[in-house]
Structure 1
Amino acid sequence: MSHGLAAVPGEFKANEATTHFVEIALKAGRARPEDAPATEPLPVNFVFVVDTSGSMTGTKLDTVKSALQTIYRELRPADCLGIITFDHNVRTVLPAVAKQDLPPERFAEVVSALTTQGGTDIDLGVQYGIDEISRHSVSGRTVNCLYLFSDGDPTSGERDWIKVRANVAAKLRGDLTLSCFGFGSDARMPELAALAGLAGGHSTFVTRPEQVGADLLGDLSRRDHLAAIDIQLRLDIDPEVEIRHLYGHDLVTDPRARAAVLREAGQAAERALQDYGTKALPDIITEDKGIRIFAPDLAFEETYWVVLEIRVPAGRELSGLGTATVQYVDTVARAGRRHELDLCEALTLPEETVTVHAVGLWTSEVTFYALDDLYDRDREAAKNRLTHHLKNLEAAHSHLPAKEFRDDQVTLRKLITLTGALGAVVSFSDVSHGAGAGPGFAPAVRVMNDFGRVRSGFWPHY
């Protein structure tokens, strides 16, 4: 656990009233110690939520089918998988079942029978998936991953993305992650990224068919490398200090979401006891104070960081700024750990690192806002947003000549160029770009989405 504090003398900050950046970083060890006791990897519990609306016809659905076959071949006998499909209706086409109870020919039959029709009810599809994954996660002894495959906006059922996220957030917490794969130029990647961010998942804009299977296999490999589970973080900031902006975390404030967190925290504690022989420490995310965050499980060499923008009143000393408490289950030592630190004492992150991470997270947000502009067919707004942030990066680099600021300037210039080129004919591609999107839209979405992910607050290794 590392932390740092940096004053913000310039204008390179998300909120104009901000005076300081505060960062808390969690990093798992480099590798499992050679003398660590051998433990059997946790079985995975994968449920796939597949958009089978009419627009998924052809290559998109074929890519999903191929990826499902790929992951099935690599599962272990005790691993579970299930499939939910949705168009304007939702169907459980394969109730979650252990691979050892699912013959290859039966699985192939289910996958090959997937067909497309109708509209897109993402809300019910994901909620069905969460319900289905509970079939084998009651004991909390599995690595639970939900995957959404879709290519557009919800057109049936709940069509407001904010309400979709609220509905999902009420059920999705703890050791359950949701990852999203977007297909085609109409895939709403900023919305899918926000959905995935509810519980430490990832979002991927699919540009190559083999990419989906490779990402799924990468997630599968993490279960052999988990270093810390049931990671909880609480930040207690002095009331005199204003929190102006927060990055890289999931606040537990909504009553329905809070109830779900309490349930999932209990399941995570049970899993720690049964799988690692460790009684979990009392939950800190369930206490009615501070900023409470349920972080994703971390594999070896993975990092997760949180950055806050705060306003310290003029003349106030920095001492007594606040505290951070983190607790987790160490899967190697098979013991619960808890650490508390003063946010102003014994700083371990240099100011340069804190500033680079903060501005990087801000750049990620701006990039995704620009993506929203493109989805709204407002190319000029996206270009202006990126251009304005480019000036902020130039100011940041002038104050602190960090390599990241220089590189991000170059990347933003390319994004601005790419945005300006939307509408030009892409002669080497005969792929439909969607109504109103214009040629070149898909490459712009892919590049901006990838860049936004690079500047997020999670550094995966596996």
Structure 2
Amino acid sequence: MKFSAALDVNVVAHEADDEVTVMLELEAPAGPPTAARAPSALQIVLDRSGSMHGAPIEGAKQALITLVQRLEPTDVFGLVTFDDDAQVVVPAGPLTDKPAVIERIRGVHPGGCTDLSSGYLRGLRELRRATKASGIRGGTILVVSDGHVNAGIRDADQMADVTAQASRDRIVTSTLGYGHGYDETMLSAIARSGNGNHVFAENPDAASTAIAGEVDGLLSKVAQAVSITVHYEPQVQMLQLYNDLPANQIGDGQVMIDLGDLYAREERKLLLRLGVDGMAALGVVQVARLDLQYVEMPDLVEHTVSLPISVNVVPGDELGDRIPDPTVQSEKLFQEAQSAKLEASKAFESGDLMAGGEFLARSRERLNDAVGIAPAGSADAIRVELADVDRMSEMSELSGAMYMSKMTRDSYHQQNRKRGRRRPQ
């Protein structure tokens, strides 16, 4: 696993409050090319409420049939559907009889209300049972829903607590919001706490593509339970994570950030801000240590990579004019643009098109500033994001608040929570 850090400034003033921004970059290993892929476990939790009638349910069923055809007989697959309550359509287990599984998928039909929690909890139980029986450690749950929850657990934070607990057992939860009527706050919170992905699929074709992308990642997974623990010194009085990832204080001066699973050669970026108080010692001082921990597949070997973060403390009159590293500074502006995009999504979700447009304009300003200082390689990627924000701004006048809230939330997830991630080819 490649793991590196860069600071916007590495010189701070003696006995004066200051701050530094740290950009972390990871790249997962390729994995042994000749080794047989370890069996994977995938549990689908599919909304079959009445709103899924017609093209949505038929498109989802066809996507799941294609998914089953791609998996190996040794892979664990299960399907739970939910409307007023949960139904086990395909008991989770190895795919030893694909034709029978496909026939059961074809038999799914729409029902009544939307009790997502019953479907998720039943699917979680199925996955845990099957992985224990097969000896597979961990797995993935993909929730597919097109509506707002109107039965069972309706509080997003409560559902997020459930997926967070599953994540601690190496079960990743991803969500796919289907159409224009789903609850992006609920599905996004579930995916965040579950260390998975949140994707917006406008129509059956987009849903098929999104499901295929999830399977691509699952089948090329090379690292599980990836986390970064920040061990910071007493001089660090403030720690901010720009990326909206699960982070927990696990001890004095220790914060653990969960990244979930990584597929082969996946790249990720994280941004931290450290506020330091006046340091008495002159010279190079270590202010933090970063421990990257992960389980490498398929042999399930645990690894730890440590990276010290140090600054050079100099007298104030020797500080001079500090010029921040352009790569780190442009990434900071990029993430400020993502924060504005999230606020746009919340405004659109509440029906306020004007406020949403204003937040997108703010996002565009930050991206323009980032392009102006970024090195050539980084600037090209930021221009792509800038074009995407421009496109969303233009669409907001025509597409309506409901559509825009979902599009902007999906984009925020990719560019903030999963920053640097590329879809597997």
TM-score, with length taken from structure 1: 0.75
Q: Which residue matches 1:452? A: 412
1:59 aligns with 2:55: yes
CA 1:417–1:395: 2 relative to 1, 3 Å? same
Is the CA contact 2:227–2:294 (under 8 Å) kept in the aligned structure 1? yes
Shift of 1:97: 2.1
CA distance in 1, matches of 2:104, 2:298: 39
1:326 aligns with 2:286: no
CA 1:234–1:178: 2 relative to 1, 3 Å? same
Q: Which residue matches 2:118? A: 124
| Equivalent residues, number | 396
Is the CA contact 1:248–1:306 (under 8 Å) kept in the aligned structure 2? no
1:91-170 equivalences in 2 (<5 Å): 91-100=87-96, 102=97, 104=99, 106-138=100-132, 141-142=136-137, 144-170=139-165
Match for residue 196 of structure 2 among 195, 201, 204: 201
Match for residue 2 of structure 1 among 4, 10, 14: 4
Deviates more, 1:76-85 or 1:230-239: 230-239
CA 1:231–1:172: 2 relative to 1, 3 Å? closer
Q: Counterpart of 2:144 in 1: which secondary structure?
A: strand
CA distance in 2, matches of 1:407, 1:7: 27
- The C-alpha deviation readout for 1:221-274, integer Å capped at 9, x for no partner, is 445544333433211122332114441531246xxxxxxxxxxxxxxxxxxxxx
Shift of 1:47: 1.0
Q: Which residue matches 1:173? A: 168
Q: Counterpart of 2:269 in 1: which secondary structure?
A: strand
1:327-406 equivalences in 2 (<5 Å): 327-331=293-297, 335-344=301-310, 351-398=325-372, 400=374, 402-406=379-383
Letter matched to residue 348 of structure 2: L
CA 1:191–1:292: 2 relative to 1, 3 Å? same
- The C-alpha deviation readout for 1:416-454, integer Å capped at 9, x for no partner, is 23223345xxxxxxxxxxxxx6xxx53x35643453244
Shift of 1:184: 1.3
- The C-alpha deviation readout for 1:295-315, integer Å capped at 9, x for no partner, is 323232112332222323367
Q: Which residue matches 1:430? A: none
Shift of 1:140: 5.5
- The C-alpha deviation readout for 1:275-331, integer Å capped at 9, x for no partner, is xxxxxxxxxxx7775111343232321123322223233677772221101233444
Shift of 1:24: 2.3
CA distance in 1, matches of 2:422, 2:368: 28
1:194-343 equivalences in 2 (<5 Å): 194-222=189-217, 225-241=220-236, 242-252=238-248, 290-313=254-277, 319-331=285-297, 335-343=301-309
Deviates more, 1:394-403 or 1:83-92: 394-403
Q: Counterpart of 1:213 in 2: which secondary structure?
A: helix
Is the CA contact 1:127–1:168 (under 8 Å) kept in the aligned structure 2? no
CA distance in 2, matches of 1:223, 1:88: 30
Shift of 1:80: 1.7
Shift of 1:118: 2.3
CA distance in 2, matches of 1:98, 1:405: 43
Is the CA contact 2:334–2:366 (under 8 Å) kept in the aligned structure 1? no
Shift of 1:335: 5.0
CA distance in 2, matches of 1:458, 1:189: 22
Q: Counterpart of 1:338 in 2: which secondary structure?
A: strand
Q: Counterpart of 2:24 in 1: which secondary structure?
A: strand
Higher strand share: 2
Is the CA contact 1:173–1:198 (under 8 Å) kept in the aligned structure 2? no
CA 1:192–1:369: 2 relative to 1, 3 Å? farther
- The C-alpha deviation readout for 1:376-410, integer Å capped at 9, x for no partner, is 11112212222233333344445557445555444
Shift of 1:334: 7.5
CA-atom RMSD in angstroms: 3.2
Q: Counterpart of 1:420 in 2: which secondary structure?
A: helix
Is the CA contact 2:235–2:279 (under 8 Å) kept in the aligned structure 1? no
CA distance in 1, matches of 2:414, 2:259: 18
- The C-alpha deviation readout for 1:118-155, integer Å capped at 9, x for no partner, is 22122232222211110122275256111111012211
CA distance in 1, matches of 2:26, 2:222: 12
Match for residue 90 of structure 1 among 86, 94, 97: 86
- The C-alpha deviation readout for 1:38-59, integer Å capped at 9, x for no partner, is 4321112111111111111111
Q: Which residue matches 1:27? A: 27
Amino-acid identity (%): 22
CA distance in 2, matches of 1:92, 1:315: 60
Shift of 1:7: 4.5
CA 1:389–1:312: 2 relative to 1, 3 Å? farther
Q: Counterpart of 2:286 in 1: which secondary structure?
A: coil
Letter matched to residue 421 of structure 1: L
CA 1:26–1:54: 2 relative to 1, 3 Å? same
CA distance in 2, matches of 1:332, 1:88: 39
- The C-alpha deviation readout for 1:131-185, integer Å capped at 9, x for no partner, is 1110122275256111111012211122222222123323333532111111111
